[in-house]
Amino acid sequence: MPGGTQAILQPWRNTWAHLHNLGWAAVETVFADLEIIQYLQQQPLATLNAMLERQLNAPLTSSCGRLFDAVAAALGFCRGSIRYEGQAAIELEAATPACLLAVVPPYPFLLAQQADGRWEIDPAPMWCSLLRDLQTGYHHTAVSAQFHQGLVSVISELAEKLCEERHEIQAIALSGGVFQNTLLFKGLLAKLEGMGMPVLTHSVVPTNDGGLSLGQAAIGAARQLTSSRS
């Protein structure tokens, strides 16, 4: 997140961070004709590069929301700034016809297991396909639909692998602010249930930060009770 909180307020920073990880010099060369690349070239990239090199005010994040921001900005939604939290992702979803999800292919994501056993979803292949489609002239609605479908596909694949590894898993819980996105939520719910996996979803507690706070309080209370009994 180059600039820390500024990366939330200015979604283009997330786009650049992903393309920097992909190899900014190569991206600049291959996709020089794209409007998003020309836009990013006008930004203070030398300053952002210095932040990354010095690991200063550029914290790492695994937030799916920041990925949505990055894709939204690449397609021209709230690129420069947002007026309220989550605006870029919300506008991206709103501009994506649900009917497209059934007819477009998913963008590829890399699912790789790390040395410590953790699974990691890498969006690099998705960015390569997305930039090529923009260069070909794909409309942003088709690009966004393929992005949503790609996430549905890779998350369901991850759920399947986790269930195969850990037989004690009895259900998949869909939680976190990203599941306020109806396209992602309904697509993933249908995919997982179609695979025969029991799915837990929110009905009373909110899926975003309000639910997170309640969960943290519940865990803290459970630990307090456990320590008081020992």
Contact criterion met (CB below 8 Å) for 177 and 86 = yes
- What confidence tens digit (pLDDT) does each residue in 173-220 have? 999 899 999 999 999 999 999 999 999 999 999 998 888 888 899 999
Q: Which CATH number fits domain 1-88: 1.25.10.10, 3.90.1490.10, 3.20.20.370, 1.10.357.160?
A: 1.10.357.160
- What confidence tens digit (pLDDT) does each residue in 39-98 have? 999 999 999 999 998 989 999 999 999 999 999 999 999 999 999 989 999 999 999 999
The pLDDT of residue 212: 84
What b/e string do you get for 102-141 counting C-beta neighbours within 10 Å, with b at 16 or more?
eebebbbbeeeeeeeeeeebebeebbbbbbebbeeebebe
Write the DSSP assignment of 18-60 as a string of letters. Answer: HHHHHHHHHHHHHTTTSHHHHHHHTS-HHHHHHHHHHT-S---
pTM (2 d.p.): 0.92
Q: Using CA atoms, how far apart are residues 34 and 29, in angstroms rounded to an integer?
A: 10
* Site of tokens 């309640």: 214
The pLDDT of residue 65: 93
Residue 113 φ then ψ, to 5°: -95, 130
Question: Given a cut of 80, is residue 230 above it in pLDDT?
Answer: no
The pLDDT of residue 104: 94
Tally Cβ neighbours within 10 Å of residue 101.
19
**In the predicted model, what is the mean pLDDT of residues 93-120?**
95
DSSP classification of residue 5:
T
- What confidence tens digit (pLDDT) does each residue in 132-181 have? 999 999 999 999 999 999 999 999 999 999 999 998 999 999 998 999 99
The pLDDT of residue 61: 92
- Using DSSP, state whether 145 is helix, strand or coil: helix
> Which pair of tokens denotes residue 212?
């997170």
**In the predicted model, what is the mean pLDDT of residues 9-17?**
97
